Copies of this chain bind each other. A is one copy, B any other.
Amino acid sequence: MQIAIEPLTADAFAPFGEVLAPRTEPSRMINAGRCERHHALATVERGEGEAILSIFRSQGVDLPYSFDLLERHPLGSQAFMPLSDRPWLSIVAPDADGRPGTPRAFLVPAHTGVNLWAGTWHGVLTPLGGAAEFFVVDREGNGENLEEISIPPVTVCA
C-alpha cells in the first residue's frame, strides 16, 4: 500500500492526538507582559502511573519510506516535541477492532509537536532530513504499556 503525506491540522489530527504549537492568541501574558503562555495544549494521560520526561535521538528517514510495524501505548499518552529545526512525519493509524486500520502520514513542521492519545497506533520516530532529538513526555508505571504489531508494508510517497 502507498499513502500520501498530509498536512497537519488540529482537526485532521484530532482522532489521534493534539497538535503542540502556539495558538493564534496566547491564553494569557505572564512575566509582567514579557511572555505569552499558550496554556495546557495537552494534559498527560497517565492512569495510575506518572508523567516522565525523556529525550529520544532517532536516525532520520528518507522518502519514499516504507514500514511494516506499528505500536501503541494503551495506558498513557505520548508527546513528541522535536528539538531540531526540521520537519518530521507523524505516522498514525485508526484502530479497527484491536488492529490498526489504514495508516496516515502527517507532515509536522519544525518546532511543532504532537501528543498522541493513549492507545493511538503509531509508527516509530521518522524525522526528515537527518537524525534528530525529540523531547518526549509519556507515562511510566505498572502494567503493560507497549503493544507492537506487524502489518503489510506501507510506503509513504515523496
Residues of A within 8 A of B (CB): 20-22, 26-27, 30-32, 34-44, 46, 50-59, 69, 79, 81, 83, 85, 111, 113, 115, 124-125, 133, 135, 137, 140
User: What is the copy number of this chain in the assembly?
Assistant: 2
Docked pose: A135 CA to B137 CA in angstroms: 11
Docked pose: A30 CA to B136 CA in angstroms: 14
Docked pose: A8 CA to B83 CA in angstroms: 19
CB<8 Å pairs between A and B, sample of 20: A20-B53, A20-B55, A26-B57, A34-B59, A35-B58, A35-B59, A37-B54, A39-B52, A41-B52, A41-B55, A42-B52, A43-B52, A43-B140, A44-B51, A44-B52, A51-B51, A53-B79, A83-B111, A85-B85, A113-B135
Docked pose: A140 CA to B69 CA in angstroms: 36
